């Protein structure tokens, strides 16, 4: 509770210096995958490897959500047979993974990015187009270190 | 209380201020307007929402209701008049199976029609500005007189080079297989086509429902067709229809001649049956249904090669041929989509021949899984992605909203400020659009708008803050549902009518940015009372607007 409160404070009190957008990587087709290339604007703020690890984990989670395999077929067939009414009671696999992703991003923000004056926005809030990274001005974050 | 242009502006201002200043507790006791807004209420695309944002359709829903009526009426007549006879003489399983099929058809129709097809939300102002900066950096800064090169990114997917185009309306680079539907004014993922019969676009999220709808409808149509014939034959066996048939020229049961013959027969059979007049009405309805479907399928471009032949021969060919082919056209459409699913292509790609070997020898579909079974399973049983547009989410004061006008301003302006600035520009651009639309343009070339046509940011300006203005626009694009399935198919069919429609859309599309677009449209304009420069003074400082102004001046001067 206290941690989220501090993130909210960060958003409202600190001045936004700039925003960086990490675009989608379409080299593997239409699956949801983000570029892992380290943006130059974050040079001074966060470790390159750390960032790439975050992006890779995110990509793996999305791959899990969109995986076509036995489990997804079973879910699809069950849904078809019940005329898709089964989703009134139960969440789709994709939605479950999206919740996992939201939790992961929150965790990463609290542990790694907020202390450095950065904030990752969940891509689902931007239509899975970009990962928005808000860079806050340095002066308000000095206490975080 | 219609003050024209100013009223919606005032309404939007009021709503904006309300969200920022009033606390949730205050809202409880007030009128509906003060309650927290949901995101669907300010959705920039041309869609209709029902049940407080749960259901989503295209703007034109008339044809959807027609589909519904046709299916229900025909099935109703079948159940009322044919089923009692069939159930008592053959098996009661017939109405049961028919009923199950009907419920499935309607279920799939509703699901296809009311589901978000996979609309991509528009870029937030910050995002759009970031992309613009990136593009300027890669293309080099352009002077005021320089037209920026077409905005295209190339990616290599599974060895094939795919071009990603920049959508000027949504301010994003369209992902692969995504197309902008100009009827709904949205970018839709895995865009197949816009289907007026289901009243929605067919895209990633509702393609399987659409496919199951047409598949089950084929079964239902064939089922009804077959059992109506059975009914007529069985009944006529009792009343000596066959002997009557020997005396008259042999005709297929559903020709006009036979309908008349049946009416001659009915006085004889009236003694034995209560349902004497019924076979004719049922048959007529079935004919009507399949004939309408046949016309629809032709309109959808499935029989583009056949339509030329039929135009010559005329629809006055024997009704039996029409009915016969009508049933087969629904079945044919199902077959066509089965082929598309098995090769993992969209209607859009198939019509354009994107992956055809005719284009290039080594052209292949990079999205195919290689195996027919895997492609089918992936399309029909794959995971269902969630809707990316948060329709029922509440609007937060600090939620970035998509920029209504692409004025290219980077900035971290507050939502309120953006809204108020844009409202004035919105009014101006609306005035311009209305003026421009009243100026007839001669169209001398094809303009593809049905399938992900030219991206149009002008429309977005009318969408966000002044959504109630949309009907005031010469609502011509929305008046041609038939254009949807395959724009250029219809153009081929009836070039004059549709050309006319095409060029009424173009002036609407020109008001804002797309740099190259207005200049490349081969349109000539009659001199108008167009004075774009005057109207665009506030925006003329921006190079993008200068380009569009230049374009419009060119258009009006030819």
**Residue B118 pLDDT class (50, 70, 90 cuts):** very high
How many residues make up chain A in this entry? 145
**What pLDDT, on the 0 to 100 scale, is given for residue A139?**
60
Q: What is the mean pLDDT of residues B216-241?
A: 80
**What are B211's two structure tokens?**
């496919």
**Residue B148 pLDDT class (50, 70, 90 cuts):** low
Is the pLDDT score of A72 beyond 60?
Answer: yes
What SS3 state is found at A120?
strand
**What pLDDT, on the 0 to 100 scale, is given for residue A12?**
61
Any A CB within 8 A of B394 CB: no
Per CB-CB distance under 8 Å, the chain A contacts of B121 are 126-127, 129
Lowest mean pLDDT among B183-187, B300-304, B475-479, B545-549: B475-479
Q: What is the mean pLDDT of residues B477-481?
A: 39
Distance from the Cα of A106 to chain B's closest Cα (Å) equals: 18
The reply to whether residue A11 touches residue B398, judged by beta carbons under 8 angstroms, is: yes
**What pLDDT, on the 0 to 100 scale, is given for residue B459?**
39
For residues B558 and B554, what is the distance between their CA atoms, to the nearest angstrom?
Answer: 6
Is the pLDDT score of A25 beyond 50?
Answer: yes
pLDDT per residue over B421-433, tens digit each? Answer: 455 555 555 555 5
| Reported ipTM | 0.86
Which of the two residues, B58 and B508, has the higher pLDDT score?
Answer: B58
3-state secondary structure B263-278: HHHHHHHHCCCCCCCH
**What pLDDT, on the 0 to 100 scale, is given for residue B384?**
86
Any A CB within 8 A of B400 CB: no
**What are B364's two structure tokens?**
């292949």
Is the pLDDT score of B242 beyond 70?
Answer: no
How would you label A72-105 residue by residue, b for 16+ Cβ within 10 Å and e otherwise? bbebbeebbeeebeeeeeeebbbbebbeebeebb
Among B128, B151, B383, the residue to mutate for chain A (most A Cβ within 10 A): B383
Which of the two residues, B452 and B339, has the higher pLDDT score?
Answer: B339
**What pLDDT, on the 0 to 100 scale, is given for residue B371?**
86
Any A CB within 8 A of B496 CB: no
Any A CB within 8 A of B416 CB: no
**What pLDDT, on the 0 to 100 scale, is given for residue B423?**
54
CA A57 and chain centroid, separation: 9
Q: What is the mean pLDDT of residues B500-511?
A: 38
Lowest mean pLDDT among A83-92, B76-85, B385-394, B434-443: B434-443
Distance from the Cα of A115 to chain B's closest Cα (Å) equals: 22
**What pLDDT, on the 0 to 100 scale, is given for residue B302?**
46
Measured between CA atoms, the residue of chain B closest to residue A63 is B383
For residues A57 and A68, what is the distance between their CA atoms, to the nearest angstrom?
Answer: 19
A68 phi/psi in degrees, rounded to 5: -100, 110
Distance from the Cα of B82 to chain A's closest Cα (Å) equals: 27
**What pLDDT, on the 0 to 100 scale, is given for residue B43?**
87
Measured between CA atoms, the residue of chain B closest to residue A94 is B385
What is the reported pTM? 0.64
Distance from the Cα of A145 to chain B's closest Cα (Å) equals: 27
Across chain B, what does the average pLDDT equal?
65
What distances in angstroms separate CA B65 from CA B60, B113, B180, B300, one per listed residue? Answer: 10, 11, 25, 18
The reply to whether residue A21 touches residue B127, judged by beta carbons under 8 angstroms, is: yes
**What pLDDT, on the 0 to 100 scale, is given for residue B79?**
87
B12, B83, B167, B195: which is the annotated catalytic residue? B195
The reply to whether residue B130 touches residue A19, judged by beta carbons under 8 angstroms, is: yes
Distance from the Cα of B282 to chain A's closest Cα (Å) equals: 29
For residues B190 and B204, what is the distance between their CA atoms, to the nearest angstrom?
Answer: 5
pLDDT per residue over B346-376, tens digit each? Answer: 898 888 888 887 777 778 888 888 888 888 8
Is the pLDDT score of B71 beyond 60?
Answer: yes
Classify residue B482 as exposed, middle or buried by CB count within 10 Å of its CB (0-12, 13-18, 19+).
buried
The strand order across the sheet containing B172-173 reads B152-157, B160-167, B172-173
Per CB-CB distance under 8 Å, the chain A contacts of B209 are 84
Known active-site residue B195: yes
The reply to whether residue A76 touches residue B164, judged by beta carbons under 8 angstroms, is: no
**What pLDDT, on the 0 to 100 scale, is given for residue B291?**
56
**What pLDDT, on the 0 to 100 scale, is given for residue B434?**
61
The reply to whether residue A84 touches residue B111, judged by beta carbons under 8 angstroms, is: yes
pLDDT per residue over B522-536, tens digit each? Answer: 334 343 343 444 444
pLDDT per residue over B5-42, tens digit each? Answer: 444 444 444 444 444 444 444 444 444 555 668 888 88
Q: What is the mean pLDDT of residues B163-183?
A: 91
The reply to whether residue B386 touches residue A94, judged by beta carbons under 8 angstroms, is: yes
**What pLDDT, on the 0 to 100 scale, is given for residue B269?**
39
How many residues make up chain B in this entry? 558
pLDDT per residue over B283-315, tens digit each? Answer: 545 555 655 555 555 455 545 555 554 443 333
Q: Which of B121, B212, B366 sits opposite A29 (nearest CB)?
A: B366
**Residue B258 pLDDT class (50, 70, 90 cuts):** very low
Per CB-CB distance under 8 Å, the chain B contacts of A72 are 381-383
Closest CA to B366 of B192, B176, B160: B160
Is the pLDDT score of B516 beyond 50?
Answer: no
Which of the two residues, A141 and B183, has the higher pLDDT score?
Answer: B183
The reply to whether residue B384 touches residue A76, judged by beta carbons under 8 angstroms, is: yes
Q: What is the mean pLDDT of residues B69-76?
A: 85
Measured between CA atoms, the residue of chain A closest to residue B413 is A16
Q: Are A126 and B121 in contact (CB under 8 A)?
A: yes
- Please report the DSSP string for B195-222 in residue order: ETTTTEEE-TTTHHHHHHHHHHHHHHHH
Is the pLDDT score of B408 beyond 60?
Answer: no
**What pLDDT, on the 0 to 100 scale, is given for residue B240?**
62
């Amino acid at each position: 509770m206290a941690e989220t409160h501090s993130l909210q404070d960060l958003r409202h009190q600190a001045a936004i210096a700039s925003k960086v957008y990490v675009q989608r990587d379409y080299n593997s087709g239409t699956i949801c995958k983000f570029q892992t290339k380290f943006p130059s604007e974050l040079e001074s703020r966060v470790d390159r490897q750390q960032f790439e690890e975050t992006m890779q984990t995110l990509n793996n989670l999305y791959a899990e959500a969109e995986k076509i395999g036995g489990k997804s077929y079973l879910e699809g067939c069950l849904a078809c047979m019940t005329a898709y009414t089964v989703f009134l009671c139960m969440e789709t696999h994709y939605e479950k993974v999206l919740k996992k992703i939201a939790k992961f991003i929150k965790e990463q923000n609290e542990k790694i990015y907020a202390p450095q004056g950065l904030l990752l926005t969940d891509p689902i809030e931007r239509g899975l187009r970009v990962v928005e990274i808000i860079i806050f001005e340095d002066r308000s974050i000095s206490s975080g270190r | 209380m219609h003050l024209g242009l100013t009223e919606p502006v005032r309404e939007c201002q009021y709503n904006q201020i309300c969200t920022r200043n009033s606390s949730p507790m205050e809202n409880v006791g007030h009128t509906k307007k003060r309650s927290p807004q949901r995101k669907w209420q300010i959705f920039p695309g041309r869609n209709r929402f029902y049940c407080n944002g749960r259901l989503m359709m295209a703007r034109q829903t008339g044809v959807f209701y027609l589909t519904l009526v046709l299916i229900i009426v025909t099935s109703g007549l079948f159940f009322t008049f044919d089923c009692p006879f069939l159930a008592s003489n053959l098996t009661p399983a017939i109405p049961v199976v028919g009923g199950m099929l009907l419920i499935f058809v309607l279920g799939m129709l509703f699901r296809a029609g009311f589901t978000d097809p996979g609309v991509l939300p528009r870029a937030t102002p910050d995002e759009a500005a970031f992309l613009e900066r990136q593009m300027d950096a890669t293309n080099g800064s352009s002077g005021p007189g320089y037209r920026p090169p077409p905005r295209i990114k190339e990616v290599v997917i599974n060895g094939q080079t795919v071009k990603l185009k920049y959508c000027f309306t949504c301010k994003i680079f369209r992902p692969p297989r995504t197309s902008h539907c100009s009827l709904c004014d949205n970018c839709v993922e895995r865009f197949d086509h816009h289907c007026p019969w289901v009243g929605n676009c067919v895209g990633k999220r509702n393609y399987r429902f659409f496919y199951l709808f047409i598949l089950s409808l084929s079964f239902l149509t064939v089922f009804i067709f077959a059992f109506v014939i059975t009914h007529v034959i069985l009944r006529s066996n009792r009343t000596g229809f066959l002997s009557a048939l020997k005396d008259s020229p042999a005709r297929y049961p559903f020709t006009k001649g036979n309908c008349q013959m049946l009416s001659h027969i009915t006085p004889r059979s009236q003694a034995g049956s209560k349902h004497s007049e019924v076979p004719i009405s049922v048959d007529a309805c079935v004919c009507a249904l399949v004939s309408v479907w046949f016309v629809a399928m032709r309109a959808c471009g499935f029989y583009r090669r056949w339509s030329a032949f039929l135009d010559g021969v005329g629809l006055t060919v024997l009704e039996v041929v029409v009915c016969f082919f009508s049933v087969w056209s629904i079945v044919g459409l199902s077959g066509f989509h089965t082929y598309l699913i098995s090769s993992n292509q969209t209607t859009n790609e198939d019509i354009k021949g994107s992956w055809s070997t005719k284009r290039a020898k080594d052209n292949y579909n990079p999205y195919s899984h290689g195996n027919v079974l895997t492609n089918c399973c992936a399309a029909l049983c794959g995971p269902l992605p969630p809707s990316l547009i948060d329709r029922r989410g509440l609007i937060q004061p600090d939620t970035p909203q998509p920029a209504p006008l692409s004025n290219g301003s980077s900035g971290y302006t507050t939502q309120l400020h953006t809204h108020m600035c844009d409202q004035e520009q919105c009014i101006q651009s609306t005035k311009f659009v209305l003026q421009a639309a009243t100026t007839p343009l001669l169209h001398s070339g094809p303009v593809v708008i049905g399938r992900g046509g030219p991206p149009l940011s002008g429309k977005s300006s009318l969408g966000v803050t002044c959504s109630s203005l949309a009907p005031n626009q010469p609502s011509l694009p929305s008046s041609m549902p038939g254009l949807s399935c395959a724009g250029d198919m219809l153009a081929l069919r009836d070039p004059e009518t549709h050309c006319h429609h095409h060029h009424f859309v173009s002036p609407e599309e020109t008001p804002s940015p797309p740099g190259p677009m207005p200049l490349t449209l081969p349109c000539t304009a009659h001199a108008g009372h167009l004075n774009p420069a005057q109207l665009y003074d506030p925006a003329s400082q921006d190079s993008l607007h200068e380009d569009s102004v230049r374009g419009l001046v060119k258009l009006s001067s030819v």
